Each structure stands twice: as C-alpha cells, then as structure tokens.
Structure 1
Amino acid sequence: MTTHLHITAWVIGIILFFVTYSMLKSGNPKAKMLHMITRLFYLLIFLTGGMLITDFGAYAVKMIVGIIVIAAMEMVLVRTKKRKSTSAMWILFIVALVFVVYLGLSLPQGLYFFK
C-alpha cells in the first residue's frame, strides 16, 4: 500500500511541477497557490519514501537521490519565478530523476523491469 502511495505521490508531484512551471512562465497569478500544493506533495513523497526504507544500503542512496530530485524541482520553480537561468537545475533534475527511477525499479521493492 505504501509503495502505491509513494508512486502516486511521485506521479502527481511531477505533473504538478510541470503545470506550475508552465504557469510561472506564463505569469499566471495562481501559480503561487499551485506551487504551495506542489510543496505539499514534496512532503508526501518524502514521508512515504521514508516509510519504504527497509535496508539502509541501496535504499539510502535512492532516498538521497530522490531528495536531490525534489530540490532540483523546487530550484527550477523558484529560479523561474525570479526570472533567473534554470538550465543547470533542469540538467540536475533530469539526471537525478532518471537515476532515481532506475533505482526504484531495480531494487527489491521495485517492479523488476531491470532484473
């Protein structure tokens, strides 16, 4: 059950991230509200991920990379809001996201796509 909640929170969090990003780019005043909701999903992702840790080795690495993904998402949104360059944060987000998804699917609690 926790695994499904974690995956659902990740999917919704990433969708909210892209919607918030597009709203910030277009100057929509409701982007601030959606940004706060996105932050709430960051917390939900963090809490459900913490509940999934059973082995402190590889899961700790996945948790750290997952936190980097969330931090990169937040930095893209904040830097977009401030009209600063976001290219480095986008690269960090994409690389960390690919790595964390790979770890999530290859570790024992994953879906065994890479086994």
Structure 2
Amino acid sequence: MIHMHILSWVVAIILFFAAYFNFSEKQGATPYFKPIHMLLRVFMVLVLFSGLWLLIQEFSSGSQGGGHMLLTLKMVGGIASVALMETALIKRKKGQASHGILWATIIVIIITMLLGIILPWGPISQLFGM
C-alpha cells in the first residue's frame, strides 16, 4: 500500500504542475487543461485514500514506536497539500493572483514529504533501523 501511496503523490505533483502551466493568464486554458485537472483529482483521491489506509494500519498495529504525532502532522500536511493544489488551480482559472498560493503549495508539499521520510515507514527510518 505504501508503494501505491508514493506513486500516487508523485503522479499528483507532476499532474499539478502540468495543469498549472497549461493555463495561460492571457490565452486561457489549453485543450489539455481539463483532462489533466480531472486526472489530477483522481490521483488526489487515491493519495487521500491510500494515506488514510496507511494511517489506519499504523494506529491499529499497536506499535509503541511513537511517531503518532508526526503521522498526524503528515496527515494534516497531506490534506493541506491537496487543498492548496486545488485552490491554486481554481484561482489560476478564475484569473486571480495565484503565485503566492503556488509557492505555499510547494512549501507544504516539501514539508509533508520530509515528514514522510522520517516516519517509521520512511526510507531514513528503515535505512537506520529506527
């Protein structure tokens, strides 16, 4: 399940930037904007469901490894990332200033990814056996 989660958010990030830059402020949307945006929404749902499934697995396993607070922060960061992605695209589509939201989205995505790396199922934790 963790592989599906990682693949889903990698594809979602790529689709977000593809959709964001397929909408010109002067000329409007390209013919590819709407299908990319719809596909991005599908991957956002996959990210949320696979993340929720991983969260349920971790909390139900009864492990005493701690990290539940970091896991909850990562969940909040993931939901915020998805919400900011959608908000940035909608603001861009409406012709409003969206560069600040774009940078906020990038920062929240990076923070969420860093939290995922240091969690018990993350690569750093598994590398050092934590």
* Code of the aligned partner of 2:33: A
Query: 1:29 aligns to what?
Result: 31
- The structural deviation recorded for 1:108 is 0.4
Match of 2:83 in 1: 71
3-state secondary structure, aligned to 1:79: helix
* Offset at residue 47 of structure 1 (A): 0.3
Map 1:23-102; keep pairs closer than 5 Å. Answer: 23-25=22-24, 27-53=29-55, 54-55=58-59, 56-102=68-114
Of 107, 110, 113, 2:122 maps to: 110
Paired AA for residue 95 in structure 1: I
Shift of 1:29: 2.7
CA RMSD for the aligned pairs? 1.8
Name the larger-Rg structure.
2
Deviant stretches of 4+, over 2 Å: none
Q: What are structure 2's unaligned runs of at least 5 residues?
A: 60-67
The letter for the 2-side match of 1:40 is: V
Partner of 1:15: 14
Q: Distance in 2 between matches of 1:40 and 1:92?
A: 22
- Structure-2 change in CA distance of 1:23 and 1:86 (3 Å): same
Task: Give percent identity, aligned residues only.
Answer: 32
Return the alpha-carbon distance in structure 2 between the equivalents of residues 30 and 74 of structure 1. 17
**Alpha-carbon distance, 1:58 to partner:** 1.8
Deviates more, 1:87-96 or 1:57-66: 87-96
Return 5+ residue gaps in structure 1 as ranges: none
**AA of the residue aligned to 1:42:** M
